[in-house]
């Protein structure tokens, strides 16, 4: 069996130099997040950001919903490539990191496109469902315990052929290690099993970053 490459910093730098160039604000967010210690793990990888941008541009995605925004790297990455009439609705519960994200949105001239709604995402998703809002794409990267609920609600909000992307589904590789049985690893395993059995979607897991599941509503 051919193994996937281990994408270390040197190889990620090479990929950056031979594909999309990072926007100065993306670089600034990465530098800022590197000062946050272990919290910087909440940021998606550069290769994931490139993949998101490619997916958005090749599928004419305009309306995006993000569940879990942190300091704004993923929202900025997506916002840079959506059409002029597109927008991103970001859901987060942390006021401090949301203010940081807003500052980066403004620096990237995305403060008119990217909106943050503070509060429990479950409540906002249910509100959107009642309001019959629709999106072309949803990105989920929040508390893992609520992944199944976030996913089910998001599936009702996206249009046919729309995409749902979910981060951290390989959980540092622990999901495949039978000796790892901590609570969060088992939560991710349960979510992955749920997705695997869902016939409402086409799906695959890509080994980008910490593992990302991409689902297409059929």
Convert the pLDDT of each residue in 191-214 to its tens digit: 999 999 999 999 999 999 999 999
Domain 9-217 is in which class?
Answer: alpha beta
**Range with the poorest average pLDDT among 19-28, 93-102, 146-155:** 19-28
Q: Which residue has the higher pLDDT, 10 or 179?
A: 179
Q: For position 77, what pLDDT does the model report? A: 98
User: What is the band of 1 on the pLDDT scale with cuts at 50, 70, 90?
Assistant: low
Q: For position 40, what pLDDT does the model report? A: 75
Reduced to 3 states, what is the DSSP secondary structure of residue 5? Answer: coil
User: Is the pLDDT assigned to residue 159 strictly greater than 80?
Assistant: yes
User: Is the pLDDT assigned to residue 26 strictly greater than 70?
Assistant: yes
% pLDDT > 90, the chain: 86
Q: For position 19, what pLDDT does the model report? A: 82
Convert the pLDDT of each residue in 35-83 to its tens digit: 998 877 789 999 999 999 999 999 999 999 999 999 999 999 999 999 9
Measured distance CA(91)–CA(107) in Å, rounded:
20
Q: Where are the strands (E) in the chain, listed by range? A: 63-67, 87-92, 114-118, 135-140, 158-167, 201-206, 212-217
Instruction: For the chain, give every domain's residue range.
Output: 9-217
User: What is the band of 145 on the pLDDT scale with cuts at 50, 70, 90?
Assistant: very high
User: What is the band of 188 on the pLDDT scale with cuts at 50, 70, 90?
Assistant: very high
- Mean per-residue pLDDT over the chain, rounded: 95
Measured distance CA(32)–CA(109) in Å, rounded:
18
CA dihedral in degrees (154, 133, 159, 61; nearest 10)? -100
Reduced to 3 states, what is the DSSP secondary structure of residue 60? Answer: coil
pTM (two decimals): 0.95
**Range with the poorest average pLDDT among 3-17, 92-106, 127-141, 178-192:** 3-17
Measured distance CA(15)–CA(7) in Å, rounded:
10
Residue in this structure with the two tokens 């008119």, named with its chain if needed: 112
């Amino acid at each position: 069996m051919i193994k996937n490459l281990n994408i270390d910093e040197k190889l990620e730098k090479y990929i950056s130099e031979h594909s999309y160039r990072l926007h100065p604000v993306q670089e600034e967010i990465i530098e800022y997040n590197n000062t946050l210690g272990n919290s910087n793990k909440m940021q998606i990888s550069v290769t994931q950001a490139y993949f998101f941008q490619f997916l958005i541009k090749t599928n004419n995605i305009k309306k995006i919903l993000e569940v879990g925004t942190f300091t704004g790297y993923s929202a900025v990455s997506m916002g840079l490539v959506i059409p002029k009439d597109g927008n991103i609705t970001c859901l987060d519960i942390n006021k401090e990191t949301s203010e940081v994200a807003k500052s980066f949105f403004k620096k990237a001239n995305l403060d008119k496109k990217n909106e943050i709604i503070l509060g429990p995402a479950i409540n906002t998703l249910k509100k959107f469902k009642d309001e019959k809002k629709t999106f072309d794409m949803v990105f989920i990267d929040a508390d893992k315990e609520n992944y199944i609920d976030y996913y089910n609600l998001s599936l009702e909000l996206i249009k046919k052929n729309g995409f749902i992307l979910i981060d951290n589904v390989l959980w540092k590789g622990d999901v495949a290690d039978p000796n790892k049985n901590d609570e969060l690893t088992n939560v991710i395993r349960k979510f992955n099993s749920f997705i695997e059995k869902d016939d409402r979607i086409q799906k695959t897991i890509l080994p980008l970053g910490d593992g990302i599941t991409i689902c297409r509503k059929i």
